[in-house]
Amino acid sequence: MSAAEQDINRRSIENWPSGRLLDYAEEHVGDRDLLAVIHEVLTRRGVDVATAAAKRVQALLDRGRDGMAADVSVGVSDEGRAELAAMKARLEQAERRIREAEARAATAERALATEALPSRGGGLLRRVHLAETAPTWLVDAARRAFRLRFHPDRFADPVMKARAEETFKEAEEIFRQIVPNGQ
Protein backbone atom coordinates (compact mmCIF):
# COMPACT_ATOMS: atom_id res chain seq x y z
CA MET A 1 0.00 0.00 0.00
CA SER A 2 1.45 3.39 -0.97
CA ALA A 3 2.04 6.19 1.53
CA ALA A 4 -0.81 8.21 -0.03
CA GLU A 5 -3.25 5.30 0.38
CA GLN A 6 -2.15 4.85 3.99
CA ASP A 7 -2.67 8.56 4.63
CA ILE A 8 -6.19 8.41 3.17
CA ASN A 9 -7.02 5.31 5.23
CA ARG A 10 -5.69 6.88 8.40
CA ARG A 11 -7.66 10.08 7.82
CA SER A 12 -10.86 8.11 7.23
CA ILE A 13 -10.60 6.29 10.56
CA GLU A 14 -11.20 9.56 12.39
CA ASN A 15 -14.91 9.12 11.69
CA TRP A 16 -15.06 5.56 13.03
CA PRO A 17 -16.74 4.79 16.35
CA SER A 18 -14.38 4.32 19.30
CA GLY A 19 -15.19 0.61 19.66
CA ARG A 20 -14.40 -0.04 16.01
CA LEU A 21 -11.11 1.85 16.35
CA LEU A 22 -10.17 -0.33 19.32
CA ASP A 23 -11.00 -3.50 17.37
CA TYR A 24 -8.93 -2.26 14.45
CA ALA A 25 -6.01 -1.47 16.77
CA GLU A 26 -6.20 -4.94 18.30
CA GLU A 27 -6.19 -6.50 14.82
CA HIS A 28 -3.08 -4.50 13.80
CA VAL A 29 -0.93 -4.71 16.92
CA GLY A 30 2.29 -4.90 14.90
CA ASP A 31 1.75 -1.54 13.14
CA ARG A 32 3.03 0.94 15.71
CA ASP A 33 2.42 3.96 13.45
CA LEU A 34 -1.22 2.98 13.03
CA LEU A 35 -1.59 2.43 16.78
CA ALA A 36 -0.13 5.89 17.39
CA VAL A 37 -2.64 7.46 14.97
CA ILE A 38 -5.54 5.60 16.58
CA HIS A 39 -4.35 6.60 20.06
CA GLU A 40 -4.17 10.24 18.96
CA VAL A 41 -7.69 10.11 17.47
CA LEU A 42 -9.12 8.50 20.61
CA THR A 43 -7.44 10.94 23.01
CA ARG A 44 -8.96 13.89 21.13
CA ARG A 45 -12.47 12.59 21.84
CA GLY A 46 -13.94 13.66 25.14
CA VAL A 47 -16.10 10.65 25.99
CA ASP A 48 -15.54 7.84 28.47
CA VAL A 49 -15.62 5.09 25.85
CA ALA A 50 -12.88 6.79 23.84
CA THR A 51 -10.79 7.39 26.95
CA ALA A 52 -10.99 3.73 27.92
CA ALA A 53 -10.15 2.68 24.35
CA ALA A 54 -7.20 5.12 24.29
CA LYS A 55 -5.86 3.52 27.48
CA ARG A 56 -6.13 0.08 25.86
CA VAL A 57 -4.35 1.28 22.70
CA GLN A 58 -1.65 2.85 24.89
CA ALA A 59 -1.21 -0.52 26.59
CA LEU A 60 -0.81 -2.12 23.16
CA LEU A 61 1.81 0.48 22.28
CA ASP A 62 3.64 -0.15 25.57
CA ARG A 63 3.59 -3.93 25.00
CA GLY A 64 4.99 -3.46 21.52
CA ARG A 65 7.66 -1.13 22.88
CA ASP A 66 8.68 -3.73 25.46
CA GLY A 67 8.88 -6.39 22.76
CA MET A 68 6.20 -8.54 24.39
CA ALA A 69 3.64 -10.48 22.41
CA ALA A 70 0.35 -8.63 22.58
CA ASP A 71 -2.36 -11.20 23.10
CA VAL A 72 -5.39 -8.99 23.69
CA SER A 73 -7.76 -11.84 24.44
CA VAL A 74 -6.04 -12.81 27.70
CA GLY A 75 -8.44 -12.56 30.62
CA VAL A 76 -11.59 -12.39 28.48
CA SER A 77 -14.18 -15.04 29.25
CA ASP A 78 -16.02 -17.05 26.62
CA GLU A 79 -19.17 -15.13 27.48
CA GLY A 80 -17.34 -11.86 26.92
CA ARG A 81 -15.97 -13.06 23.59
CA ALA A 82 -19.46 -14.08 22.46
CA GLU A 83 -20.88 -10.71 23.49
CA LEU A 84 -18.02 -8.94 21.73
CA ALA A 85 -18.61 -10.97 18.56
CA ALA A 86 -22.34 -10.15 18.67
CA MET A 87 -21.62 -6.45 19.12
CA LYS A 88 -19.12 -6.51 16.28
CA ALA A 89 -21.71 -8.16 14.01
CA ARG A 90 -24.31 -5.53 14.94
CA LEU A 91 -21.80 -2.75 14.29
CA GLU A 92 -20.90 -4.15 10.88
CA GLN A 93 -24.60 -4.47 10.02
CA ALA A 94 -25.21 -0.85 11.06
CA GLU A 95 -22.22 0.32 9.01
CA ARG A 96 -23.56 -1.61 6.01
CA ARG A 97 -26.98 0.02 6.41
CA ILE A 98 -25.37 3.45 6.61
CA ARG A 99 -23.37 2.82 3.44
CA GLU A 100 -26.55 1.69 1.65
CA ALA A 101 -28.46 4.77 2.83
CA GLU A 102 -25.61 7.04 1.71
CA ALA A 103 -25.62 5.34 -1.69
CA ARG A 104 -29.39 5.85 -2.02
CA ALA A 105 -29.03 9.53 -1.03
CA ALA A 106 -26.23 10.05 -3.56
CA THR A 107 -28.36 8.46 -6.28
CA ALA A 108 -31.29 10.71 -5.40
CA GLU A 109 -29.06 13.80 -5.47
CA ARG A 110 -27.71 12.85 -8.88
CA ALA A 111 -31.23 12.32 -10.15
CA LEU A 112 -32.31 15.74 -8.90
CA ALA A 113 -29.25 17.43 -10.36
CA THR A 114 -29.92 15.96 -13.80
CA GLU A 115 -33.68 16.47 -13.70
CA ALA A 116 -34.92 18.07 -16.88
CA LEU A 117 -36.09 21.65 -16.64
CA PRO A 118 -39.41 22.69 -18.15
CA SER A 119 -39.36 23.23 -21.90
CA ARG A 120 -38.86 26.77 -23.10
CA GLY A 121 -41.69 28.75 -24.63
CA GLY A 122 -45.46 28.69 -24.14
CA GLY A 123 -45.47 25.27 -22.50
CA LEU A 124 -44.49 26.72 -19.13
CA LEU A 125 -48.10 27.58 -18.29
CA ARG A 126 -48.99 23.94 -18.88
CA ARG A 127 -45.96 22.88 -16.80
CA VAL A 128 -47.27 24.71 -13.72
CA HIS A 129 -50.59 22.89 -14.27
CA LEU A 130 -52.79 25.94 -13.78
CA ALA A 131 -55.52 27.59 -15.78
CA GLU A 132 -55.48 31.35 -16.13
CA THR A 133 -58.61 31.47 -13.93
CA ALA A 134 -57.07 29.47 -11.05
CA PRO A 135 -57.88 30.76 -7.53
CA THR A 136 -55.17 32.64 -5.62
CA TRP A 137 -54.65 29.95 -2.99
CA LEU A 138 -53.99 27.35 -5.69
CA VAL A 139 -51.57 29.63 -7.52
CA ASP A 140 -49.69 30.25 -4.26
CA ALA A 141 -49.44 26.53 -3.55
CA ALA A 142 -48.24 25.80 -7.08
CA ARG A 143 -45.73 28.65 -6.85
CA ARG A 144 -44.27 27.26 -3.62
CA ALA A 145 -44.00 23.78 -5.14
CA PHE A 146 -42.41 25.15 -8.31
CA ARG A 147 -39.90 27.18 -6.30
CA LEU A 148 -38.89 24.12 -4.29
CA ARG A 149 -38.48 21.94 -7.34
CA PHE A 150 -36.83 24.31 -9.80
CA HIS A 151 -34.88 26.80 -7.68
CA PRO A 152 -31.51 27.59 -9.31
CA ASP A 153 -29.58 26.88 -6.09
CA ARG A 154 -30.51 23.18 -6.41
CA PHE A 155 -28.33 22.77 -9.50
CA ALA A 156 -24.55 22.40 -9.29
CA ASP A 157 -23.88 22.44 -13.04
CA PRO A 158 -23.42 26.08 -14.22
CA VAL A 159 -25.31 25.47 -17.48
CA MET A 160 -28.28 23.91 -15.69
CA LYS A 161 -28.15 26.67 -13.07
CA ALA A 162 -28.29 29.42 -15.73
CA ARG A 163 -31.19 27.70 -17.47
CA ALA A 164 -32.95 27.24 -14.14
CA GLU A 165 -32.58 30.97 -13.39
CA GLU A 166 -34.20 31.87 -16.71
CA THR A 167 -36.98 29.33 -16.23
CA PHE A 168 -37.51 30.47 -12.65
CA LYS A 169 -37.90 34.12 -13.74
CA GLU A 170 -40.33 33.17 -16.50
CA ALA A 171 -42.37 31.07 -14.10
CA GLU A 172 -42.55 33.92 -11.59
CA GLU A 173 -43.82 36.19 -14.34
CA ILE A 174 -46.47 33.63 -15.31
CA PHE A 175 -47.57 33.31 -11.68
CA ARG A 176 -47.86 37.11 -11.46
CA GLN A 177 -50.04 37.11 -14.61
CA ILE A 178 -52.33 34.40 -13.27
CA VAL A 179 -52.98 35.93 -9.83
CA PRO A 180 -54.69 39.14 -11.03
CA ASN A 181 -56.88 37.12 -13.42
CA GLY A 182 -57.85 34.64 -10.71
CA GLN A 183 -59.14 37.25 -8.25
- Half-sphere exposure of residue 5, counting CA atoms within 13 Å on the CB side? 2
Q: How confident is the model at residue 127 (pLDDT cuts 50, 70, 90)?
A: low
Average the pLDDT over each of 15-19, 123-127, 174-178 and give the range with the smallest value: 123-127
Distance CA(142)–CA(48), nearest Å, equals 52
Distance CA(72)–CA(8), nearest Å, equals 27
Distance CA(174)–CA(125), nearest Å, equals 7
Residue 60 carries which side chain, given as an amino acid letter?
L
pTM: 0.34
Q: What is the pLDDT of residues 132-175, one digit of tens each?
A: 777 888 888 888 888 888 888 888 888 888 888 888 888 888 78
Is 15 a residue whose pLDDT tops 50?
yes
Distance CA(107)–CA(104), nearest Å, equals 5
